[in-house]
Amino acid sequence: MTVPTIDLAVIGGSGLYQFPGLENASRRAMDTPYGPASGDIVLGDFAGKRLAFLARHGESHALAPHRVNYRANLWALHALGARRVIGVNAVGGIRADMGPRVLVVPDQLIDYTHGRVTSFCDVEGAEVRHIDFSEPYTAALRQALLDAAGRAGIAVIDGGCYGATQGPRLETRAEIARMKRDGCDLVGMTGMPEAALARELELDYACLALVANFAAGCGDEAEISIEEIFAHLAAATAQVPVLITAMLS
């Protein structure tokens, strides 16, 4: 069977459940050796190229971060022919310049999650592979995102450390203070094991982080408002198709 060519796959996080502007769209329900993916993969034409889109939490946001079947998602995209994947992640900002509505292309991460299936090797009889994860994101794909942002006139911060927490609750002030001491600039709940699984499949992978709020204790707010989070996310998410257009064209 001929594997169709997909120029880019986008995994949408909170606030990005469909990809605007996708033409000639069709849906594929993928059966994987690791169970069901988060939902149908939507294939279509965008900016003259072939794009695949998958909503990480499902199109109705039914899947909490620790319940996402990351293995099935990455395996399904790979099986359809994707070789470059952009993970769009909603995050909280820890660093002072990473406030609400800011876009960041991180270059490092720290994994604080627990209990998640983190490898394709975690199957009886599978070959155990020790991947090099010194640089968790593909440099060339990161640079393609940054260059596209420049062409589109979209402000994006180059670099930063993403701290992946378990969720779905937000973090305590003490937890964020620890993460800041550890060197984290952003906090999110879905960055891992997605990045590591992409590396195991030899996919080019980069993260586009959309800052929805300042993390606990990092802003002026006494309490983080969920309503404000989604308002900030909507504004940041509106820039994603523009950036991807510049990247593909």
What is the average per-residue pLDDT within 90-103? 97
Task: Tell me: pLDDT of 144 over 90.
Answer: yes
Domain residue ranges of the chain, discontinuous segments joined by +: 8-248
57 labelled binding-site residue: yes
Task: Tell me: pLDDT of 4 over 60.
Answer: no
Give the H or E element holding residue 204. Answer: strand 204-214
Given this model, what pLDDT does residue 68 score? 97
Give the H or E element holding residue 104. Answer: strand 103-105
pLDDT > 90 fraction of the chain, expressed in percent and rounded:
86
Given this model, what pLDDT does residue 225 score? 78
The fold for domain 8-248 equals Rossmann fold (3.40.50)
The more confidently predicted of residues 17 and 126 is 17
24 labelled binding-site residue: no
- Report pTM: 0.94
215 labelled binding-site residue: yes
27 labelled binding-site residue: no
189 labelled binding-site residue: yes
Task: Compute the distance between CA of residue 195 and CA of residue 85 in angstroms, rounded to an integer.
Answer: 10
Query: Tokens 């998640």 correspond to what residue?
Result: 116
Given this model, what pLDDT does residue 1 score? 45
214 labelled binding-site residue: yes
pLDDT > 70 fraction of the chain, expressed in percent and rounded:
98
Six-digit token string for 49 = 């190229």
Given this model, what pLDDT does residue 43 score? 97
Given this model, what pLDDT does residue 249 score? 86
CB atoms under 10 Å from CB of 171, counted, come to: 23
56 labelled binding-site residue: yes
Of 137, 123, 102, 104, the residue nearest 34 (C-alpha): 123
What is the average per-residue pLDDT within 154-172? 97
pLDDT tens digit sequence for 192-246: 999 999 999 999 999 999 999 999 999 877 677 788 888 999 999 999 999 999 9
Task: Compute the distance between CA of residue 204 and CA of residue 139 in angstroms, rounded to an integer.
Answer: 9
What is the average per-residue pLDDT within 21-27? 95
What is the average per-residue pLDDT within 174-199? 98
Helical residues (DSSP H) of the chain, grouped into ranges: 70-79, 139-152, 173-182, 194-200, 226-237, 240-248
Of 202, 19, 165, the residue nearest 90 (C-alpha): 165
